[in-house]
A and B are shown apart, each in its own frame.
Chain A
């Protein structure tokens, strides 16, 4: 899909290696695991927690031109849903080609119903989605 996932924590690259090779839940992980020991990148994205020196659970989608298109940040004990992240990624990728359309909440993939914002759609979203 022309997309790279990179995980980031403030752990060292050595700890990443140990975790990836030790934890069986990670055995299918094939993406780079980034080490942000100084917290520089975490601070840039607003997820660095000063009290702990750790990063909050943030997910950010950046387009091929380097523009930040999506931000999701949660506290520690709420996991992110990967299906939702992929849905948002696919929607952003679709909309980069179809710049006059919008992907409604039930949109999941190319081929699902989209909306075309404009004066004609005002007050007519129900008809547009269910027609």
Chain B
């Protein structure tokens, strides 16, 4: 949960506008590191599917 004193209202809800965020990435097609940014996705008018999972080298 958010512990800052900002006005964040908890996790995102369905239908909400997702704030811009970025992540460092490994890009297998390039064999190199890169950056993913939601702002870039929106600028390119592309859909995004985010797929979270607990940890590399696990099983499911």
Q: How far is it, in angstroms, between the C-alpha of A109 and the C-alpha of B36 when the chains are bound?
A: 28
Q: Indicate if A78 sits at the interface (CB-CB under 8 A).
A: yes
Q: Mark interface residues in A1-36 (1 if CB within 8 Å of B CB, else 0).
A: 111111111110111111110010000011111111
Secondary structure class of chain A's binding surface, majority of residues: mixed
CB < 8 Å neighbour of A3 from B13, B21, B25, B46: B46
Q: For B57, what are the chain A residues with a Cβ–Cβ distance below 8 Å?
A: 15, 19, 23
Q: How many A-B contacts at CB < 8 Å in the complex?
A: 176
Residues of A within 8 A of B (CB): 1-11, 13-20, 23, 29-36, 40-47, 49-50, 52, 54-71, 76-80, 85, 89, 92-93
The reply to whether B28 and A35 form a contact with Cβ atoms under 8 Å apart is no
CB < 8 Å neighbour of B41 from A4, A40, A42, A43: A4
The reply to whether B47 and A34 form a contact with Cβ atoms under 8 Å apart is no
The reply to whether B47 and A64 form a contact with Cβ atoms under 8 Å apart is yes
Q: For B28, what are the chain A residues with a Cβ–Cβ distance below 8 Å?
A: 20, 29-31, 33
The reply to whether B48 and A6 form a contact with Cβ atoms under 8 Å apart is yes
